Amino acid sequence: MFFFAILSSRGVQGGAGYYLLIDLVVGPDGAVAFYGETNKLPVNLDPRLGSVAARNGRFGDTTDQLTSKEGLDWRLRLAITEDYSDVFVNVYLPPGASVRAVGPSNWTILSDRKRLVVNFASSFKSADELDVRYALNGAAVRGYWSHALLAIAAAGCFAAVLGARRFWPRANARPSDLAADRGEVNALLPTLNERERMVLDAIVREGGRIPQSKLKYVCGLPKSTLSRVTNDLQRKGLIRKIPVGQTNELRLSEALMSSR
């Protein structure tokens, strides 16, 4: 991929320049469907995830090894086995779950429909481990089975069509009836400068939405330059910046989207 070539040409060493993005969808029985992407190859993940087959850095599967029950509560642990300068992890707890404790400290709790999402966004070292302790109630267990089945089915689909961009950044995002309108975007490109065209085209190629941290790898622009360009695009009404945890997600404006 384009941004892999950029990183290679810069001579990345250690954890600098490497990212890991992963969604963990947790079922009431402790089973976890996971989906992710990294530019550090070969992929080396927590051994409890099992043997992960990846293509172009993208991977997905299910496991029951990340969670354990401790009395009435549950605990999910994910070891970070490599050094990364940027790690974005979303832990989607079952509907109705309550959070007891979270570690390390760089986390945020978000809300997605009826479930809580524990979001981690920071740099991580190989000795770090994510630790989420949570509790379920009866309603969560009864109401989650349809979601759990869908998550497991989605994991199978992900493995079958690995590389389809629509599975990231939200592996379990609700299907949208909108898609980027290439005709509208192409009509605007001549009015933009080179960097604005590069950024807008990258967002379109990602399906109309992309984490800002990932965009800098795709475009190969310095953080300050990228921030200035995205601010200009937002001021022109072409994109929106949506806070997600400790970062932003860039989305095309609705004017540049059309029905599927």
95-151 pLDDT, tens digit per residue, is 889 998 998 877 888 776 677 888 888 777 888 899 999 999 754 444 444 444 444
112 bridge partner residues:
115
111 bridge partner residues:
116
pLDDT of residue 77: 95
Calpha distance 11→239 (Å, rounded): 32
- The count of other CB atoms within 10 Å of the CB of residue 33 is 26
> At the top level of CATH, which class does the domain 178-259 belong to?
mainly alpha
Sorted by where each begins, the domain ranges of the chain are 2-167, 178-259
Q: pLDDT (tens digit, 9 = 90+) per residue, 35-58?
A: 888 888 888 889 998 877 777 788
Would you say residue 248 has pLDDT above 90?
A: no
pLDDT of residue 65: 94
Would you say residue 7 has pLDDT above 50?
A: no
Structure confidence at residue 170 as a pLDDT band (50, 70, 90): very low
What is the mean predicted confidence (pLDDT) over 163-186?
51
pLDDT of residue 152: 42
Q: pLDDT (tens digit, 9 = 90+) per residue, 65-106?
A: 999 998 889 999 999 888 888 888 989 899 889 998 998 877
Q: Which residue has the higher pLDDT, 17 or 10?
A: 17
Burial class (CB in 10 A: 0-12, 13-18, 19+), 234: middle
Would you say residue 241 has pLDDT above 90?
A: no
pLDDT of residue 138: 58
What is the mean predicted confidence (pLDDT) over 247-254?
82
- The count of other CB atoms within 10 Å of the CB of residue 70 is 9
What is the mean predicted confidence (pLDDT) over 216-244?
85
Structure confidence at residue 179 as a pLDDT band (50, 70, 90): low
pLDDT of residue 251: 86
Window from 24-38, 130-144, 184-198 with minimum mean pLDDT? 130-144
Structure confidence at residue 258 as a pLDDT band (50, 70, 90): low
pLDDT of residue 93: 92
pLDDT of residue 62: 87
Beta pairing, strands 19-26 & 84-92: parallel
Mean pLDDT of the chain: 75
* pTM higher than the cut 0.85: no
pLDDT of residue 54: 73
- The count of other CB atoms within 10 Å of the CB of residue 17 is 20
Calpha distance 195→182 (Å, rounded): 18
